[in-house]
Chain A
Amino acid sequence: NQFQLELQTYYTHT
């Protein structure tokens, strides 16, 4: 099974 991570895990809100 593979989880799709959200982009917020990598990039920060500005």
Chain B
Amino acid sequence: MFEARLAQGSIFAKVIEGLRELVTEATWECSGNGITLQAMDSSHVALVSLVLRSDGFETYRCDRNMSLGISLTSMSKVLKMMGKDDTLTIRVNDDSDAIVLSMESQNQEEFAEYELRLMDLDSEHLGIPDTDYSCVVKMPSTKFSRICRDMAILGDSVTICSTKDGVKFGAKGDVGQGSIRLNQSTNVDKEEDAVSIELREAVALTFAVRYLNMFCKAAPLSNQVNLSMSEDTPLMCEFKVGDMGHIRFYLAPKIED
């Protein structure tokens, strides 16, 4: 049997909203350590890796490792029925072909239960090596979302150039071109508003902005986003999920034809 309970069910809903545009269905790997998921988008240029550690749940029980094929599209629809302060319990009974989502209101006066049929999915798994990136930009996730949305107006690609002083996002297309430059924060009251850059080597990489915009669907999970970059290496775009885990998106850079 598998059972995991989250007092703040909305966190789980935000995780699903963060994933579902990039991947519509995925295999959840459940073990005693927690829940992990790795999935690629259909064009194989982007990858998402999710980790939710068992100690981040109020209660967590996993008697044996399970691989659960789940439609994220359907799960998202079910989670929309959840109240914003509801507690969420996810359960898979032994020998069952369904996942049960139970939602309980904070005053314990309302209790809802939904079942979703599990799917048989072919899953591919890519080995992602631990990488020492040349540059890690940390910035407010809302600012990153806004920049990606704005850049998409100008073109299909965004070039991210990072030096020790700042980071510049630029795009050009048929209508024109533009760029936004953020300087490293020197003095901020709130850490979540800061832009900080750890740099070993300056980088300039170009990415499809459409994918960056899909990654930004996970921005509500975290005040800050980490962008880890090295030349000729996929970007790693990371949003923390509280202190229980993270969503990491990987995107292959574009190269000149």
Which one, A1, A6, A14, contacts B45 given CB within 8 A? A6
Assess the A7–B257 pair: CB atoms within 8 A: no
Which one, B47, B128, B253, contacts A5 given CB within 8 A? B253
Identity of the chain A residue whose Cβ is nearest the Cβ of B157 in the assembled complex: A2
Q: How far is the CA of A3 from the CA of B44 in the complex (A)?
A: 13
Q: How far is the CA of A6 from the CA of B198 in the complex (A)?
A: 27
- Which residues from chain A contact B144 at a C-beta distance below 8 Å? none
Q: How far is the CA of A11 from the CA of B131 in the complex (A)?
A: 11
Size bracket of the B interface: 20 to 34
Given A1-B256, A6-B252, also A13-B127 (CB < 8 A): yes
- Which residues from chain B contact A7 at a C-beta distance below 8 Å? 40, 44-47, 126, 234, 250, 252
- Least CB distance, A3 to chain B, in whole angstroms: 5
Identity of the chain B residue whose Cβ is nearest the Cβ of A10 in the assembled complex: B234
- Which residues from chain A contact B44 at a C-beta distance below 8 Å? 6-8
Q: Does B64 count as interface, using CB distance less than 8 angstroms? A: no
Assess the B125–A14 pair: CB atoms within 8 A: yes
- Which residues from chain B contact A12 at a C-beta distance below 8 Å? 126-127
Assess the B233–A3 pair: CB atoms within 8 A: no
Q: Does B124 count as interface, using CB distance less than 8 angstroms? A: yes
Q: A interface vs B, CB < 8 Å?
A: 1-14
**23 A/B residue pairs, CB under 8 Å, sorted by A:** A1-B257, A2-B157, A2-B206, A3-B254, A3-B255, A3-B256, A3-B257, A4-B43, A5-B254, A6-B44, A6-B45, A6-B252, A7-B45, A7-B46, A7-B234, A8-B44, A9-B252, A10-B234, A11-B126, A11-B129, A12-B126, A14-B126, A14-B127
Given contacts A7-B47, A10-B233, A11-B47, 10 further A-B contacts (CB under 8 A): A2-B254, A3-B257, A5-B252, A5-B254, A6-B43, A6-B45, A7-B40, A9-B252, A13-B124, A14-B125
